[in-house]
Structure 1
Amino acid sequence: MKFKYIACLIGLVLLSSCDDFLEEEPLSELSSDQFFSEPDHAYSAVNSLYRNGAPNMTDGGVYNGTPLMLGAYMSGFFTNEYAGQELHVSNTQQLTLNGENIGGYLQDRWKELYLGISRANNAIKYIPETPELTDAQQNQLLAEAKFFRAFAYYYLVRWFGPVPLTTEPYESLDNLYLERSPITDVYSLIESDLTEALEQGNLPKISMVENGKRVTAGAVATLLADVYLTMSGNPLNANRYADAATLSQEIINGEYGSYALTQHDETGGSIDFENSAYNKIRKGDASATEHIYIKEYDPEIGTSSYPRYSYPVALASEVLYDITNGAYQPSSQFMDLYNPDEDLRAQERQYFHSTYLPTGQTFETAPFFWHDDTAIFETANSGKDFAVYSYSDVLLIAAEAIAMSSGANANAVDYLTQVRSRAYWMSDAAVISSELSGLSTDAFVKEVWKERHRELVFEFRTWFDIVRTGQFPVSDAPGSISFVNAVGHTTEQGKQIEEKHMLLPLPGPELQRNPSLGNDNNGY
C-alpha cells in the first residue's frame, strides 16, 4: 500500500463559540475522541507515522542534503558542494557548530522527531479505545506506533544525549516544559517499546516489500538489535552484546522472515559488473530479501532526492534534473578505506563513479549507488525506496556482538565472511574465512568495524559507529585501516575532534522556548 499524507491534526481540541456552524466538524478540527471513532481513523493515525518523525531523517533537499548526512560532514570524510551556502554543512565540517550557528537546522530536526513522537503517543493512547478494531488490528497498529516512537527517540538520544521524555499526547497547556531525562531512561523506553512491539504485535514475519511496505517483525527486531549494539558502546557502555547477538542471529536464522544477501550475476564464469549485486540493488526498487526496513518513496506521493546527489552541479546540464548536487561527496581519505584493486565496491560504477560515460567527462567522486536511470534521463522524478536497514547490517551486528559476548567463533566468522566475500569478488570465501578465523577477538572486531565503514556508507552508519566505538578509521594505505581515538583526532578538514563533538548541541531556539532544558548545552 502507499502511505499518503493525511490532513488530520490528531489530539488537539480546537475551541469554537460557533457550535452550530457545521453539523459535522472538518477532519482537521476533530478532537481525539472524535477522530478515533472508527477503524479507518486508527489506521490513518499510524499511517502518518510512516512519513513523520524518524522517517523524515532520510529526506532532504538538493542543496542541504539529508539530516543523516550531518555525521558524515562532522567526520570530515564527506562534503557538500553547497557547503558555503548551507551553514549546517560548513560548521559541522569545520567543527565550529553550536546551538546558534546551526540552531535553526537542528531545531527543524528536533521538531520533526518530536512531532513523530507526539503522533505516536496519540495513537498509542487512543487505538485501544477505537470501536470495531479487532484485537489483532489493535496489536498490529500499536506495535507500528511503538516502533516509530522508539525510532524517533533513538535518533534524539544518539544526537543530543539526555532529552525530554514524554509518552502522553499534549492535550492541554499543562506540563509543556519538560526537563531532559537521563540517557538510561530514554534507552529504557526505546527497549520496552521495541520489545513490546516484537512480542505483542504479532507482526508478519515477512519482508516489508512482501507486506505492502508496512513494518514487520524483522524490521522491529533489526532496530532492537542495533539499539542493543549501540547501548553496549559509548556513552552508555551497558554491555548488551549478548542480546544483540541473540536477536541478530534469530533474524539470520529466519525467525522473522527470509533474508539473504543479493548475489552477483556471472557471465562466462566471471562477474558481470553491470549486474553485480550492488548494481542489481541500485537498479531495482527495494529488495524483498536484502532490505529489512525501508523508507518508501513514490512519484505520486513523495519523491526521493537521492538521484540528485549522484552527480555534481557541473553535470546538471547532462541530466534531466534542473540541478544536481554532490551533497555526499567522499574524500580521498574515505575512498582509501577501500582496496582499489580487490574491493568491488571501490570500482567505477559500483558504489561510486567519477566518469560520465556518454562524454567521458570526469568529476569528483559521487555515489553511483543512488543513480536512477529513469529519473536521471527520463523523468527527473524518482520513486526508488531507501534502505534504512539491510541484511548486511544484520550480519555485521551479529559478527561484532557474538565476538564481544562469546568470542570470534565460527558463526561470527561466517557472517563477516558473507559480507566481505561479496565485496572481494576475486577472493575465495574459504580463504577469507580462514584468515578471519585466526584473529584474536579484538582484531576480529576491528575487521567488523572496517567492513561497517565500507559496506554501510549509504546507510549513514559512519559517524554513529565512531561515537559508539570511540575509534576513528584511518587509512595507512589504500585498503589498509587502523583505528585511533576519535577524541583528539584531526580530521581531513584539519579540525580536531573534541569530547563535546560526540553529541550535537541542543538547538538554540529550543533552549529559549524551554527553560527546563537547563544551561548546559552538551559542552558547546
Structure 2
Amino acid sequence: MNYRNYIYSLLLVAIIGTSSCTKLDEKPYGLTNTGSFYKTAADAKSAVIYAYSILPEVGYYSRGYYIITELPTENLSQKGDAGVSNFELDQLRTTSTNSDLDNIWTYLYRGISRANAVIINVPGIENMSATDKNQIVGEGHFLRALHYFNLVRLFGEVPLRTETLADVSQIPAEKSPVSKVYDLIISDLKSAEELMLPAKNDEGRANKAAAQALLAKVYLQLASAKTSSSPKYEFVADASAMYDQAKIYAGKVINEQSNFVFTNNLPDIWNTEVYKKTASEHIFDAAVDRTGEIEGNYSKLTNMFLAGDRPMTILYDANNPASASINIGQGWGHFLTEAAHYNGYPTNDKRKSQLIVSTYVNDGKVYNLDIASSSRPFSRKFIDPLRIGDKTSCNSPVIRYSDILLVYAEASGPTADGYAAVNKVRSRAGLGILNPALGLQEFRDAVVLERSWELAFEGNRLFDLRRTNTMEKVLVQQYGKTITSGAYFFPIPQRELDTNPLMKP
C-alpha cells in the first residue's frame, strides 16, 4: 500500500484543525483537542497513516537516522564540507549541542506522540470492526516500540511518554531507567503481535511478522548486552533466557509465514520494482514514492550515497556482464565509504562486488572509483533507476529478512540451527561455510562480523558494536579511531535539558 501521496490531505489538516484556542499564544507540539476527531473508521486510518508518516521524514529514516548510526562506525565518513555535527559523530566526540542528535530526538518523540494518539483514541471509536480496530491499535504499539527501541539504544535513559499531551504541565518528565524503557518496548510488541493480522505484503505498514521480528531484535539486544557487560544492561537477569526468546521470535518469522522470504540474488533485494510489489526481504520499511509532492513523500537518501562526479550508468549485476545497464543518475557524495569497511570484505564476497559500486560508465567512458579518493565506491542499496530528478522510491529498510536470519543464528549459537542460518547468508554471498568447530563466543563473534557485511549501510553496525561492548576493540584497537564521547550512549540534547526541568544531566 502506498500511503505517502495523500498523507497530508488525509490527516494533517484534520488533526491540526481540531485544535481550538481562545488565545493566539502558541502551544507546544502535540497539544491538540481530539474531541471532534477519532469518531469513524476513516479517522482511525488517517491517524495511523499520520503516525507512519514520521518515519520517512528527512530527520528520521530518509537521512538523519543514517547520519547518526553510520558515521560513528567504520562504515562511512562524510564529505569535507559537511556540517560540524556530522564531524562530531564521525569522530566520536559528540556534545549535547550536536544538531543531528537534537534533530533525531525531536523526530523520535514526535513519532511517539502520534503513536500514543492512535493507541489511546482508536479503541473508543464506535461502528468500526474489531479486526480493523485491533490492527490499527497494534500498529500504534509497534511504532511506539520502534521509536523507543531507537531512543534507548541511542541515548540510554530517556523520558517515557505514554499519554497524549493535553496540557503544558505534562511536558516535564524525568528520565526512566533503561530497564523500564525495555519493559514498555516488550509490552508494546507483544500487544502488537496479538492485535495485528498475519504477515502480508502491505508496503510501509507493520503486521504480526514485523512485531515478531522486532521482538527478536530486542531480545538479542538484551541478551548480548548482558553477556558482554555493555554499560547500563546490568538489569538483565538471565542472558540465556533472552537468547532463547530471540530465537523463538526470529523462528516465528522464518518458519511461520511466507510473505517475507530470502532472496537468492543480491541485486534483486534492492530492486524497488520488486520489493514494492511482491514477496521480498523487506519485512518493514519506511516507505516512499517518487511521485510524491514533498521530500518525505519521496526520498533523497540516494543522493547521500551516490558519487557526485557525473551521471552514471552501471550494470544491474556487476558480476554478470550480460545483465542490463541501468541509469542511476548522480548524487551529492555526502557519505564516503571508509577503507576499513571496503577492504574488510572476504575475497570474492559478492556483497562487495554486487552491492558496492566501484565502476560506472558515462558517455561511453568507464570510470573506476578509488577508495582512497574523495569520490569513492558507494553503496548500491539505495538507487532508483526510475528516479524523477532527485525524487526516488527507495524505501529505507528498518527490518530485513536476512537480519532476522542472523539474529536467529546468533541466538542459536553453534548448533545445527545456528550454522544453517548463517551459512544460508554466506552461501548467497559466495562464501564457504563457517568453521564448524567454533566455540560459543567465537561463533557469535563470527555472526556479528557477518552482520557487518550483510547489513552494511542499513543503520545496524553502531548498535551491534554497542550491544557487544566492542566499540573500543573494533574502532580504536582495530581501526585506529579515537573515542572522546558518545561511545555507548549519546549525550541528551541540551535543548531537552534546558526545557525539561525534571531532566538531570
**What residue is the counterpart of 2:264 in the other structure?**
263
Structure 1 position 335 matched with structure 2 position 342: yes
| Structure 1 residue 252, shift from structure 2 partner | 0.9
SS of structure 1 residue aligned to 2:502:
helix
Greater mean deviation of Cα atoms: 386-395 or 154-163: 386-395
Structure 1 position 15 matched with structure 2 position 30: no
| Structure 1 residue 29, shift from structure 2 partner | 11
On the 8 A contact 1:84/1:90 being kept in 2, the answer is no
**What residue is the counterpart of 1:73 in the other structure?**
71
**What residue is the counterpart of 1:249 in the other structure?**
251
- What do residues 36-74 of structure 1 show as CA deviations (whole Å, max 9, x unaligned)? 1111111111111111158766544xxxx4323323211
**What residue is the counterpart of 2:331 in the other structure?**
324
280 and 218 in structure 1: CA distance in 2 versus 1, 3 angstrom threshold: closer
On the 8 A contact 1:117/1:152 being kept in 2, the answer is yes
Counterparts of 1:278-297 in structure 2, within 5 Å, are 278-279=267-268, 281-282=270-271, 284-286=273-275, 288-297=279-288
**What residue is the counterpart of 1:84 in the other structure?**
81
442 and 256 in structure 1: CA distance in 2 versus 1, 3 angstrom threshold: same
CA distance in 2, matches of 1:43, 1:245: 33
Counterpart code for 1:220: A
SS of structure 2 residue aligned to 1:303:
coil
143 and 283 in structure 1: CA distance in 2 versus 1, 3 angstrom threshold: closer
Structure 1 position 40 matched with structure 2 position 42: yes
391 and 80 in structure 1: CA distance in 2 versus 1, 3 angstrom threshold: same
On the 8 A contact 1:113/1:156 being kept in 2, the answer is yes
Greater mean deviation of Cα atoms: 88-97 or 416-425: 88-97
- What do residues 466-498 of structure 1 show as CA deviations (whole Å, max 9, x unaligned)? 0000125xxxxxxxxxxx7358x2575x54225
| Structure 1 residue 260, shift from structure 2 partner | 2.5
Correspondence for 1:174 among 169, 177, 184: 169
CA distance in 2, matches of 1:179, 1:137: 35
**What residue is the counterpart of 1:506 in the other structure?**
492
**What residue is the counterpart of 1:153 in the other structure?**
148
On the 8 A contact 1:80/1:325 being kept in 2, the answer is no
CA distance in 2, matches of 1:389, 1:29: 31
Counterparts of 1:230-245 in structure 2, within 5 Å, are 230-232=221-223, 233=225, 234-235=230-231, 236=233, 238=236, 239=239, 240-245=242-247
**What residue is the counterpart of 1:186 in the other structure?**
181
On the 8 A contact 1:118/1:169 being kept in 2, the answer is yes
Correspondence for 1:345 among 345, 348, 351: 351
SS of structure 1 residue aligned to 2:464:
helix
| Structure 1 residue 342, shift from structure 2 partner | 2.0
CA distance in 1, matches of 2:204, 2:37: 25
Structure 1 position 203 matched with structure 2 position 197: yes
SS of structure 2 residue aligned to 1:506:
coil
**What residue is the counterpart of 1:271 in the other structure?**
none
Structure 1 position 412 matched with structure 2 position 418: yes
SS of structure 1 residue aligned to 2:164:
coil
Structure 1 position 372 matched with structure 2 position 389: no
Structure 1 position 424 matched with structure 2 position 426: no
CA distance in 1, matches of 2:504, 2:352: 46
CA distance in 1, matches of 2:411, 2:350: 26
Counterpart code for 1:186: V
**What residue is the counterpart of 2:466 in the other structure?**
467
224 and 317 in structure 1: CA distance in 2 versus 1, 3 angstrom threshold: closer
**What residue is the counterpart of 1:391 in the other structure?**
401
**What residue is the counterpart of 1:22 in the other structure?**
none
Count residues in correspondence.
457
On the 8 A contact 1:293/1:388 being kept in 2, the answer is yes
SS of structure 1 residue aligned to 2:435:
helix
CA distance in 1, matches of 2:107, 2:53: 10
SS of structure 1 residue aligned to 2:127:
coil
On the 8 A contact 1:67/1:109 being kept in 2, the answer is yes
SS of structure 1 residue aligned to 2:15:
coil
Structure 1 position 95 matched with structure 2 position 113: no
| Structure 1 residue 251, shift from structure 2 partner | 1.2
Q: Superposition RMSD on alpha carbons, in Å? A: 2.8
On the 8 A contact 2:219/2:246 being kept in 1, the answer is yes
CA distance in 1, matches of 2:470, 2:331: 33
CA distance in 2, matches of 1:137, 1:10: 24
29 and 153 in structure 1: CA distance in 2 versus 1, 3 angstrom threshold: closer
Structure 1 length as normaliser, TM-score? 0.81
| Structure 1 residue 379, shift from structure 2 partner | 4.3
CA distance in 1, matches of 2:328, 2:409: 41
CA distance in 1, matches of 2:329, 2:274: 24
Consecutive unaligned residues of structure 2, counting only runs of 5 or more, are 25-29, 314-325, 370-375
CA distance in 2, matches of 1:283, 1:126: 35
**What residue is the counterpart of 1:25 in the other structure?**
none
CA distance in 2, matches of 1:260, 1:324: 31
SS of structure 2 residue aligned to 1:203:
coil
CA distance in 1, matches of 2:108, 2:87: 23
On the 8 A contact 2:268/2:274 being kept in 1, the answer is no
On the 8 A contact 1:297/1:383 being kept in 2, the answer is yes
SS of structure 2 residue aligned to 1:225:
helix
SS of structure 2 residue aligned to 1:293:
strand
- What do residues 183-231 of structure 1 show as CA deviations (whole Å, max 9, x unaligned)? 00001000000001102x141333xxx2354211111111111011112
SS of structure 2 residue aligned to 1:313:
coil
Counterpart code for 2:2: K
| Structure 1 residue 75, shift from structure 2 partner | 2.0
Counterpart code for 1:244: A
**What residue is the counterpart of 1:356 in the other structure?**
360
CA distance in 2, matches of 1:186, 1:29: 23
**What residue is the counterpart of 2:157 in the other structure?**
162
380 and 149 in structure 1: CA distance in 2 versus 1, 3 angstrom threshold: same
| Structure 1 residue 173, shift from structure 2 partner | 1.9
On the 8 A contact 2:290/2:298 being kept in 1, the answer is yes
SS of structure 2 residue aligned to 1:329:
strand
| Structure 1 residue 387, shift from structure 2 partner | 2.2
351 and 410 in structure 1: CA distance in 2 versus 1, 3 angstrom threshold: same
Consecutive unaligned residues of structure 1, counting only runs of 5 or more, are 19-27, 265-276, 473-483, 520-524
CA distance in 2, matches of 1:360, 1:505: 45
On the 8 A contact 1:490/1:496 being kept in 2, the answer is no
437 and 259 in structure 1: CA distance in 2 versus 1, 3 angstrom threshold: farther
Structure 2 length as normaliser, TM-score? 0.84
Structure 1 position 141 matched with structure 2 position 143: no
**What residue is the counterpart of 1:476 in the other structure?**
none
